[in-house]
Amino acid sequence: MPWDTIKLNDGNKVPSIAFGTWKRGNGQESVDLVDLALSTGFDHIDTAQAYRNEREAGIAIRESGLKRDEIFVTTKYSGYDGLDVSTAIRNSLENLGLTYVDLYLIHHPSLAKPDIPTAWKEFEKLKEDGHAKSIGVSNFSVADLTILINSAKVVPAVNQIMVQPYVWAKTAPIVEFGNKHSIFTEAYSPLYSLTSQPGGPVDAPVNLIAARLQVTPEQVLLAWAREKVAGGIVITSTTKKERMEGYLNAGDILLTAADVQAIDAAGALGSKSLPRKVAERAGTLVAVWLGLYGLMAWSGLALEY
């Protein structure tokens, strides 16, 4: 199926593939890349305070010539400079040059201060005031989500988490829990096994499937991620126009059940045989790096999901 829009639990609609600005830096190069993504066909831009390129994304959005309702914009509360939630969203809107964002996320549960229920009430107020049409979370575990929904008036629309074969065994319960509570999963880093762990067990089935379907391995993994999040949202990124086109075309790729199972099995094998940091990455990396940002006073380093 193509990358259609999907309806969230609050009735709002979101494009099911997004161009992520993590690692895209800032300055004119970042503006040009977001502009290229929009002109190529992406209509969902994912950024965050911590990526330090909200302003650049906003410039590209305004210069695109597209109407506001033709672009879906996601940003995240990353605890930037110790700002409280209400101040942070105002800063993000100013940086983006927008009056609202389509989706606003808590970047990591460690940022929910003083606790998840209290922080979520602030997010509910942002939605009520119209600063964000939809609200959600990122990197939340089943335990985190349970705390949240037990006190929430508004169930989070999405949970943005790492979805790639080498961590799927740990990710699957989170996706399943979200599905039970109408919380869509947004899959980030779906290409991780190719870009950061080449040579692992996943390469073989992915390459075989790609050859059979006459597509690229990256397209196969994007199609796999879409299957694993049950028609949810996939976030990806690149600096090359031809790859952007390929990622968009991946929406037409139909994997068989056997294809998905082969990748799953290779991912499970790899989670045991590859370095331990691969299996642990999804659950710990954001918290550690966000902490480093605070200590280093935002020295200009790029935050990794």
Q: Residues annotated in the binding site for substrate, as ranges? A: 107
Distance CA 49, CA 33 (A): 18
Tokens of residue 183, six digits: 């919380």
User: Active-site residue among 51, 77, 104, 192?
Assistant: 51
- Annotated binding site: which residue ranges? 107
- The three-state secondary structure class of 255 is coil
Distance CA 83, CA 297 (A): 13
Residue 51 annotated among the catalytic residues of the structure = yes
Distance CA 192, CA 238 (A): 13
Tokens of residue 303, six digits: 């935050």
Which residues face 186 on adjacent strands?
Answer: 160, 233
Supply φ then ψ for residue 261, to 5 degrees.
-65, -35
Kind and range of the H or E run holding 72 = strand 72-77
Which residues face 112 on adjacent strands?
Answer: none
Max CA separation in the chain (angstroms): 52
Total count of residues recorded for the chain: 305
Strands 5-7 and 13-15: antiparallel
Catalytic residues: 51
